[in-house]
Chains A and B, each alone.
Chain A
Amino acid sequence: MSDFTRRRGAVGYLLLIPAALWLVLFFVIPFYSLLATSLYDPSGSDFRGYEMTYEWSNYQHALQDYWRPLVRSLLYGGVATLLCLILGYVLAYAIAFKAGRWKNLMLVLVIAPFFTSFLVRTLSWKLILADDGLVVNTLQAVHLLGADGRLLATPVAVVAGLTYNFLPFMVLPLFASIDKIDHRLIEASSDLYANPVVGFFKVTWPLSLPGVVSGTLLTFIPAAGDFINAQLLGSPNQRMVGSVIQSLFTDANDYPAAAALSMILMVIIVVMVFAYIRRAGTEELL
């Protein structure tokens, strides 16, 4: 190996150091601490301190007590992701192919919600979906909702909030993928007897798959772990695992259970993501 290539290798490692340090400090150490906490003796407390007893039953108890919010989280997250995909794909497609000179402006509008706080925006959904609000009144007027029907504190409100909050995370990767598609490929497909619908499913959609995969991951993972939407827009019946973990940590001070539940959520999501990427077969597309 020449001196030059060795030096180039060294530079590569040097460049890795800042990010590696950051991750060790703020990911590896907290992760280890979370794992350790999940195995502490559950009878411990802030006051008396905790003891490491390799208490694997913490996991069993967490699953027994909280499987409902866990399943609900995956379900709400999944539905919100699907809604985001449908809404986001149409929007990203329109921005990439139809917006012309408005493209940049529309992209700014997509990320504009980030200029205000997540919390404030979710709170304002509370007003929108309020019992005597415009939306509920309109839906009642057209009999889509019963006279005493409501939106707030229902799964609809939580899923709507999640969909709204995570839509930009779906739109941006989708846009990046769709925008890269060479328009001539679509012309070629129509030249080769594919009508617009067939052309979309045979050319546009497969070529946008990298965006679909990263968009759905960026949406599903935070949406499944979210606790703000369920807390502000739902009732205890719509509790998601995120808010259970939060209240276990901050209200109940049951650290071992909270940590075990966090670990379970993480493992489930990691397994789902790997299964999904394998199935989508996008390693070679990415």
Chain B
Amino acid sequence: MSQVAEQDATSVPGDEGFDGLRLREVTKSFGAFTAVDMLDLDIPSGSFFALLGPSGCGKTTTLRMVAGLETPTSGSITLGGEDITFAKPYRRPVNTVFQSYALFPHLDIFENVAFGLRRRKKSDVDAQVNQMLELVELTSQARKKPAQLSGGQQQRVALARALINEPQVLLLDEPLGALDLKLRRSMQIEIKRIQNEVGQTFVHVTHDQEEAMTMADTVAVMNAGIIEQMGSPTDLYENPRSTFVANFLGQSNLIESSVKDRAADVVTVDMHGIGVSIPVARAHADGDKGWVGIRPEKVLIGEQGEQLDAPGNSVPGGVVSDVSFVGVSTQYLVRMPWGQELQVFQQNTGHRRLFRQGEQVELSWRPDYAFLLDYSQDAAAGAQRGSEG
């Protein structure tokens, strides 16, 4: 799926011919608290779009505004060119899979799925419901009540109940949050399969970065009511533009540095006395200082003085302070001469030997893998587990 360019730079209000879901300067305040702040968003039709962020970042509020369950304080929402900002929820071609599923406990599975069709007085309800139950593999449960089904089955009923209405946009509000890990994995694949099959626009809200990355073709990372960065999962992971994104999606080593030189294609920085270069396309800091970012699995660990991956940026003088052997990989914590501990993941290919705690090592990485972030940002923003820097 095509990538959507960064919003704040390129958004042109009233850009005609866009048939997807479009949010313009959408703001939602609850009293003094601003849940969503001047949000601009373009979601092309047919895409699987994920809104990713920690709890309280405004992603669910955004979803509820699209569903019509919440009215924006200001701004506009259009769908296929039609303004739906103030349309009643029951008049929008949008359906939701709720976080708690919200299945009707007094109706059986069949009637739950048929609910939307019956309200719109569709003919041929039976055939459509049966077909949909087949799609989610629940035909044999049709006459049971929701309480008699397992969590995974209830989830599929919720999906079927929304999908059967062929919405222009299907909203999924943390739909897998209540399931255990194994079931969640299989539902992720299931939902992706269904999206491929039906081809509708899916907007998926989640706080689980892995879920967002595996399912969506476009991910928008949301924090404190604004979108930090939007792009394909690989783009977000490989080239984060803020410390929040760098930490929230996976883990990053962020190292304080000062900018030495800005050439046409490369920025050279001084990182505690060590020269490091970063491609201009990956440098997102304007000031004199910045955070050099590098993913733990991109860092190579070797003997002192051993050049591993020329032409790399080499950082000598590290001491292994912690080793965790995970099986597929080994995770090292390496204390650098300036006191910071860096994370290194080494894949267990069998070619490299294991280092022990206390050993002197040298770290290196390819300049193409590093990124440079704005120094004014908090290096710990968005960090979920462990502490970097």
Binding site for B on A (CB under 8 A): 182, 184-185, 187-195, 198-199, 202-203, 206-207, 285
Contacts and interface: CB of A to CB of B under 8 A. Distances in A.
Contacts of A194: 90, 115, 119
B98 A207 contact: no
A83 B105 CA distance: 29
A187 B88 CA distance: 11
B59 to A, nearest CB: 17
A205 to B, nearest CB: 10
A179 to B, nearest CB: 15
Contact of B165 (A193, A199, A206): A193
Interface string B157-171: 000011001000000
B218 interface: no
Given A190-B88, A191-B69, A191-B89, A184 B98 contact: yes
Q: Considering the complex of A and B, which 10 residue pairs feature the smallest CB-CB distances, nearest first?
A: A188-B102, A193-B119, A192-B116, A184-B102, A190-B89, A206-B106, A193-B90, A190-B90, A191-B96, A192-B115
A192 B100 contact: no
A188 B106 contact: no
A188 to B, nearest CB: 4
Interface of B: 67-69, 88-91, 94-96, 98, 100, 102-106, 115-116, 119-120, 161-162, 165
Given A184-B100, A184-B102, 9 more contacts: A182-B100, A187-B98, A188-B102, A190-B88, A191-B96, A192-B162, A195-B90, A199-B90, A207-B105
A193 B93 CA distance: 9
Contacts of A187: 69, 89, 98, 102
A195 B120 CA distance: 11
Contacts of B116: 192-193
A198 B119 CA distance: 8
Contact of A193 (B100, B104, B105, B120): B120
A190 B69 CA distance: 9
Contacts of B103: 188
Could you say which of A182, A188, A194, A198 has the most chain B C-beta atoms within 10 Å of its C-beta?
Answer: A188
Nearest to B64: A187
Contacts of B165: 192-193
Nearest to A206: B106
Contacts of B95: 191-192
A195 B98 contact: no
B89 A185 contact: no
Contact of B115 (A184, A189, A285): A189
A191 B100 CA distance: 14
Nearest to A183: B102
A203 B104 contact: yes
Contacts of B98: 184, 187-188
A192 B161 contact: yes
Given A184-B100, A187-B69, A188-B98, A195 B88 contact: yes
Nearest to A194: B119
A185 B90 contact: no
Contacts of B119: 192-194, 198, 202
A204 B245 CA distance: 43
A202 B115 CA distance: 9
20 contacts: A184-B100, A185-B102, A187-B69, A188-B102, A190-B90, A191-B68, A191-B96, A192-B115, A192-B116, A192-B165, A193-B116, A193-B165, A194-B90, A194-B119, A195-B88, A195-B90, A198-B119, A199-B90, A202-B115, A285-B106
